[in-house]
Chains A and B, each alone.
Chain A
Amino acid sequence: MKFIPVTISLLEGFGVSCVIFFLTLVFSLPLGLIISFGSMSRFAPLRWLTRTFVWVIRGTPLMLQLMVVYYGPGLIFGAAAFPKLTAVLIAFVINYAAYFSEIYRSGIEGVPRGQYEAGQVLGMTKSQIFFRVTLLQVIKRIVPPMANEIITLVKDTSLARVIAVMEIIMVAGTFTAKGLIWPLFYAGLFYLAFCGILTLLFNYIERKLSYFRV
């Protein structure tokens, strides 16, 4: 009866979820790499600082981080708040960059020392060793954990409703308040479909990289 208007509203909410998802990925994937270099740095204070940062971010709920980013400036400094979507992106990008950095780190540290040394004794430069030898091995190692984390991100976007960003679960909730229960479960189908596509994509990448073993 109300199927079409509900679908349209949920699609709008899902659009917001997708914006959060894709922009978080775009910024946190490279930021995570920078953080992972920090946590592997030979300069101890930088390494210590980076690892403390990662500990704080991974050790506190994303929901709390969202509230800190959004309400923090006003509560602490009396400053103007970020626009809501910006606040969501700041919190998500920082949070996911911290998680990604640990995945990158384990991937990079997982490449045997011998691979670097083999490149060195063959007269290759550092960048040649990175791009020609280790990079693909790192990618192969990190694809499964990254797939996990990225699929978690899809569902974590629903946390944005903590600061009343109209993502799909929040939209579904407005129908609940009007006496309709089913839109909430219908919203679940959107996540299922999206995660299904991502799963296929990651399976494809894994298959593409299955021609060699690390």
Chain B
Amino acid sequence: MKKYISLLLAIVFIFALAACNKSPSTPTNTASPSPSPSASQSPDASSAPTESETPQGEDDLAYILGKGELVIGYTEYAPMNYYDEDGELVGFDTEYAVALCEKLGVKPKFVLINWDTKEYELASKTIDCIWNGLTVTEERRENMAFTKSYIVNEQVAVIRAEDKDKYTTLESLKSAKIVAETGSAGEMAVEADLAGANFTAVASQSSALLEVKARTADVAIIDSTMAHSMTGPGTDYADLMVIENLHLTSEEYAIGLRLGSTAVDKFNEITNALLADGTLQAIAEKYGLADRLIKD
């Protein structure tokens, strides 16, 4: 009981500390080149964002190697991590992780997480990395270290099929009610490409789709992969469609490691090797992502 109270007090304390830490770091962020709303750009994949951060406490790579196991946090998200008809966990990220772990000499362990609390999972070491189509954003850099990006995460606009002729261009979307997952790449795309639009942030990508279907919104900006897998035939969203040839700001997927992790360089090194020997290309082709693989 006492322990519990002290735990609670401690976590309040941690939150307070986190709030304090945040303020000094903010100026550095604003000082660094931040994306201008019009420019469609993404962080340079090859630059190592963690160079400026010092490892906190222990050597994360040594910690992972010491355990002989890499605990990978994921959510069910086709085609990155999902269960096939035999109940096997498959997907691009799944196979990529298995391949990387083999080279690293550790066993992969996949753990289902709640996407909303992934930062806590990392920090409390219940997982070692987030490997689940994780979009690289500046906000997330405050809580985790990214490896080099490996997939372009294209954002698309989903509308009701009946509105096919109404919404065709970015300009036409500015009068629509737009939804996207809060803090997602979709929201970034709205900010970058549809500034001033009638926008509402919702809890998840699937609820964004639900909003459109339920007519509480007109347009959902979500991941291209998700949009195509959720709106196909046999789904409850068969009456929704993706606007073709509409180009929104795209982001990139990377693996999220603990802030200041020493494993970043090692992961990048192995990824480069997997690119060089064609392993990643083969996996990408298997899951229909070949054109989106970042090859350099």
Contacts and interface: CB of A to CB of B under 8 A. Distances in A.
A joins B in a complex: yes
Interface in B166-206: 205-206
Nearest to B238: A179
A179 B236 contact: yes
A201 interface: no
Given A53-B1, A60-B8, A74-B126, A177 B120 contact: no
Contact of A68 (B7, B112, B123): B7
Contact of A164 (B4, B8, B113): B113
A180 B77 CA distance: 14
Nearest to B232: A179
B35 to A, nearest CB: 28
Interface residues of A, number: 36
A122 interface: no
Contacts of A177: 75-77, 205-206, 226, 230
A162 interface: yes
Interface in B23-60: none
B125 A74 contact: yes
Interface string B223-240: 000100111101111000
B114 A164 contact: yes
B178 to A, nearest CB: 20
Given A68-B8, A75-B14, A161-B114, A81 B231 contact: no
Interface size class of B (residues with CB under 8 A): 35 or more
Contact of A75 (B123, B209, B226): B123
Contact of A178 (B8, B114, B235): B235
B121 interface: yes
B61 interface: no
A1 interface: yes
B206 A176 contact: yes
Interface string A58-75: 001000010111111111
Dominant SS at the A interface?
helix
A166 interface: yes
Interface string B104-128: 0000000111101100110111100
A74 B112 contact: no
A179 B126 contact: no
B243 interface: no
Given A94-B4, A177-B77, A177-B206, A71 B235 contact: no
Contacts of A178: 76, 78, 229-230, 235
A76 B210 CA distance: 38
A179 B206 CA distance: 8
A81 B14 contact: no
B11 interface: yes
B206 A76 contact: no
Contacts of B8: 56, 60, 65, 68
Interface string A1-35: 11000000000000000000000000000000000
Contacts of A78: 125
A71 B235 CA distance: 36
Contacts of A60: 8
B120 A71 contact: yes
Contacts of B20: none
A80 B226 CA distance: 34
Contact of B7 (A72, A80, A164, A180): A72
A72 B1 contact: no
Interface in B252-290: none
Contacts of B123: 71, 74-75
A199 interface: no
B14 A179 contact: no
Given A65-B8, A179-B235, 20 more contacts: A60-B8, A68-B4, A68-B7, A68-B8, A71-B121, A72-B124, A73-B7, A74-B124, A74-B126, A76-B11, A78-B125, A81-B126, A94-B4, A164-B111, A164-B112, A164-B114, A179-B230, A179-B236, A180-B235, A180-B236
11 contacts: A53-B5, A71-B117, A74-B124, A74-B125, A75-B120, A81-B124, A161-B114, A163-B117, A176-B206, A179-B230, A179-B237
